[in-house]
């Protein structure tokens, strides 16, 4: 049993004169004590709604939420033992930064020295110890965000909810804070859920990532698992930068396996023993599938796919080469520079062992080999 359990959670927003919006659909999640989870998805995918249901600002349409074994979805926010940092910071304008942070401790009846000790500690952690006596209106957006974060972290709660906790910070500071917050969370065994649409942040901070789209949890797994074994087409195309190349392929049976052809230019021979039993069975029933290959897995300069270069960018440590092949756009990422200009023909090598195969319902029927 986990610390936080979401069971068949549903959220439907109804407003008069408009069709109801199904923001979260039968969400099931089990989060262990001390685990840090990222809710990742594009805007409007239901991640913030989920967070707000856990905090108690949105009612639960159906399903249940349990925190440390007690049902909390009917409790008022004050009694849920949950701390939250808000996306819009939501500081109290008439109070100083120090008072804003200390305010979160007010109901816990701690001694003055204890309060100020804890405020100072957390302020140092997020580097706002120099503005403790300022008012929210006088500090920058990035500073306000850190105050909001500090106000959540200063409390001892069963669960920490962080809504885009570092969206406004400069990249350098973000990297530093990420490390420190991760340490703090780990040290105190704090269970935390944070919402983000930044993959780097999700992979850096989280133990597990929940990818959401259209209110549905697509996959809930570690970053590695998401990369290597995406559950479906959405996860495959969402995770990874640049996104996975996806191509439509015709399936043909051949001796000892299957032939996959993309247009007339690229074709693969998949050996039966390389495919699992279920993948073989699924492919046997299909005539058309989608195949995906990560840009990092395409070798350039060898291979039999002839590609007309569309763009070639050197990013300082890697080249992104986009090319067209039989009406498909392929992107390859290689660690070196090559002298290819738009219009040139180069060779791309796509190996069958690097292919992910997706069926008509977008579910993954075969994963690429993990190297």
Span near another protein by CB under 8 A; candidates 101-109, 206-214, 277-285, 354-362: 101-109
Contacts with another protein: how many residues (CB under 8 A)? 28
Looking at residue 309, the DSSP 8-state letter turns out to be E
For the chain, the maximum distance between any two Cα atoms, rounded to a whole number of angstroms, is 79
Residue 92 in the binding site for another protein (CB under 8 A):
yes
Asked if 364 contacts 236 with a C-beta cutoff of 8 angstroms, the reply is yes
Which of residues 137 and 341 has its CB atom nearest to another protein in the complex? 137
* Interaction between residue 162 and another protein (CB under 8 A): no
370 contact partners, CB below 8 Å, separation of at least 6: 228
Count other Cβ atoms within 10 Å, centred on residue 176. 14
Distance, CA of 180 to CA of 202 (rounded, Å): 15
Please give the Cα distance from 240 to 235 (Å, whole number). 9
- Candidate segments 24-32, 74-82, 311-319, 327-335, binder of another protein by CB under 8 A: 74-82
Phi, psi for 43 (deg, rounded to 5) = -65, 145
Residue 91 touching another protein (CB under 8 A): yes
The mark string for 129-148 relative to another protein (x by CB under 8 A, - otherwise) is -------x------------
Q: Which of 36, 37, 82, 305 is close enough to bind another protein by CB under 8 A? A: 82
Contact between 78 and another protein per CB under 8 A: yes
Q: Which is nearer to another protein, 110 or 334 (CB)?
A: 110
Q: Does 83 bind another protein (CB under 8 A)?
A: yes
Strand-pair partners of 357: 291, 366
Interface with another protein includes 31 (CB under 8 A)? no
Q: 107-126 mask for another protein (x: CB under 8 A)?
A: xx------------------
CA distance readout (Å), 225 to 191, 228, 247:
21, 5, 22
Give the DSSP letter of residue 368: P
SS3 for 204?
Answer: helix
* Contact positions vs another protein (CB under 8 A): 15, 55-57, 76-80, 82-84, 86-88, 90-94, 103-104, 106-108, 136, 151, 155
């Amino acid at each position: 049993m986990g610390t936080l359990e979401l069971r068949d959670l549903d959220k439907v927003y109804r407003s008069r004169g408009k069709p109801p919006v199904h923001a979260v659909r039968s969400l099931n999640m089990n989060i262990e004590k001390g685990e840090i989870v990222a809710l990742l998805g594009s805007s409007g995918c239901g991640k913030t709604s989920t967070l707000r249901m856990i905090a108690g600002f949105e009612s639960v349409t159906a399903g249940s939420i349990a925190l440390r074994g007690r049902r909390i979805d009917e409790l008022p926010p004050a009694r849920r033992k949950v701390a939250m940092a808000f996306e819009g910071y939501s500081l109290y304008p008439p109070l100083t930064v120090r008072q804003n942070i200390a305010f979160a401790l007010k109901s816990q009846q701690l001694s003055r020295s204890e309060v100020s000790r804890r405020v100072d500690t957390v302020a140092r952690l997020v580097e706002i110890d120099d503005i403790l006596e300022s008012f929210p209106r006088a500090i920058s957006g990035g500073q306000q965000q850190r105050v909001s974060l500090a106000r959540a972290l200063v409390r001892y709660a069963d669960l920490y909810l962080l809504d885009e906790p570092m969206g406004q910070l400069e990249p350098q500071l973000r990297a530093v804070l990420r490390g420190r917050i991760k340490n703090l969370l780990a040290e105190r065994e704090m269970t935390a859920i944070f919402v983000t649409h930044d993959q780097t942040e999700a992979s850096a901070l989280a133990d597990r990532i929940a990818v959401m789209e259209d209110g549905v949890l697509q996959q809930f797994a570690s970053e590695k698992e998401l990369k290597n074994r995406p559950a479906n087409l959405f996860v495959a195309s969402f995770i990874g930068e640049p996104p996975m190349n996806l191509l439509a392929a015709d399936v043909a049976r051949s001796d000892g396996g299957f032939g996959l052809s993309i247009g007339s230019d690229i074709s693969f021979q998949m050996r039966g023993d390389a495919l699992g039993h279920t993948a073989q069975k699924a492919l046997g029933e299909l005539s058309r599938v989608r195949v995906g290959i990560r840009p990092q897995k395409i070798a350039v300069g060898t291979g039999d796919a002839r590609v007309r270069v569309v763009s070639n960018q050197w990013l300082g440590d890697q080249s992104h080469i986009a090319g067209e092949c039989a009406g498909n756009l392929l992107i390859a990422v290689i660690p070196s520079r090559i002298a290819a200009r738009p219009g040139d023909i180069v060779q791309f090598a796509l190996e069958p062992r690097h292919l992910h195969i997706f069926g008509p319902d977008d579910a993954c029927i075969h994963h690429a080999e993990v190297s």
